[in-house]
Amino acid sequence: MTNPFILYPLLLFTGFFAGLVDSIAGGGGLITIPALLSFGYPPHITLGTNKFQSSFGSFTASYYYIKKGAVVIKESLLGIFFTFIGASIGVWTVQQVPGEVLNNIIPFLLIAIIIYTFTKPNLGDIDIHPRLSKKVFYPIFGLLLGFYDGFFGPGVGSFWAIAFVTILGFNFTKATGFTKVMNFTSNIVSFFLFLIAGQMIFTAGIVMAIGQVLGAKLGSGLVIKKGAKFIRPVFISVVILTTLKLLFDRFH
């Protein structure tokens, strides 16, 4: 385990950077999970502590997006409900079995997102006509992505954002706001279930949470001010880095 005098400043910075990136384009877990593992925390403790600290960042970003009008909370209630259920099942499952199957599949899904985003240069610039109603969209994606976030997590923000943009027709700014609401839902559910299982380190989580709040506030403010043109390159960069990280873990 890393010396606490060195550990806490590192955790604070890790939380800040993760909160900043996550509030813009998702992918905060790509930063925090490897960091916690490298500091010597066991895998399930890492997952629980990560969900605890990331809940603060996703709440901060969600609150900011709602306050600025990018998200109307009434429009997301159905998604919150099904994400809650999906995440609960996902956390229970990850406590029973390893995630090797998802490790093998997810990088290729992320590659598909990268290719699709590059072939659609104006994707997410403006709202377009939805391809599914919200009554159909939220049960499907709330359960699937809620489960995935509870079970594994990396890349879930990218999956939510691309789903909101391509299927519900949201612009990237609106999609990012709604993504954070769904992220907060799955984070808080996961946090409580890991807490019940005793798989969490509060001191590390609190230090990272302070950084998460500061980073999320800065990042969500940048999204509101700069819009889709700002989000798109950050989004693509995060998806590419997430893909490379997962492929490295798979073949290393």
pLDDT in tens, 20-46: 988 887 778 778 887 888 888 887 788
Residue type, 176: T
Tokens representing 45 are 């403790």
The lowest-confidence range among 140-149, 169-178, 223-232 is 223-232
> What is the C-alpha to C-alpha distance for residues 218 and 196, in angstroms, rounded to an integer?
32
Q: Which amino acid is at 167?
A: I
Question: For 201-226, how does the pLDDT look when each residue is reduced to its tens digit (9 = 90+)?
Answer: 889 999 999 999 999 999 999 888 88
Give the least confident one: 3-7, 64-68, 122-126, 151-155: 122-126
pLDDT for 5 equals: 66
Confidence of residue 182 (pLDDT cuts 50, 70, 90): very high
The dihedral sign for the CA sequence 57, 189, 157, 42:
positive
How much is the mean pLDDT over the chain? 84
At 205, list the tokens.
């989580």
Q: How many CB atoms lie within 10 A of CB 163?
A: 22
Which residue, among 201, 93, 70, 202, has the nearest Cα to 146 in the 3D structure?
93
Q: What is the dihedral of CA 69, 145, 189, 66, to 10 degrees?
A: 0
The length of the chain in residues reads 252
124 CB burial (10 A radius; 0-12, 13-18, 19+): buried
Owning domain of residue 116: 4-251
Confidence band of 113 (pLDDT split at 50, 70, 90): low
Nearest in space to 160 (alpha carbons), one of 127, 182, 134: 182
The mean pLDDT value for 150-172 works out to 86
First to last CA, the chain: 23
Residues of the chain above pLDDT 90, percent: 39
Instruction: Dihedral sign for Cα 82, 153, 175, 59, please.
Output: positive
Q: Is the pLDDT of residue 240 over 90?
A: no
Task: Provide the pLDDT for residue 247.
Answer: 75
Answer yes or no: is pLDDT of 116 > 70.
Answer: no
| Model confidence, pTM | 0.83
Q: What is the DSSP string of 96-124?
A: TS--HHHHHHHHHHHHHHHHHHHH-TTTT
- How many domains, in total, are found in the chain? 1
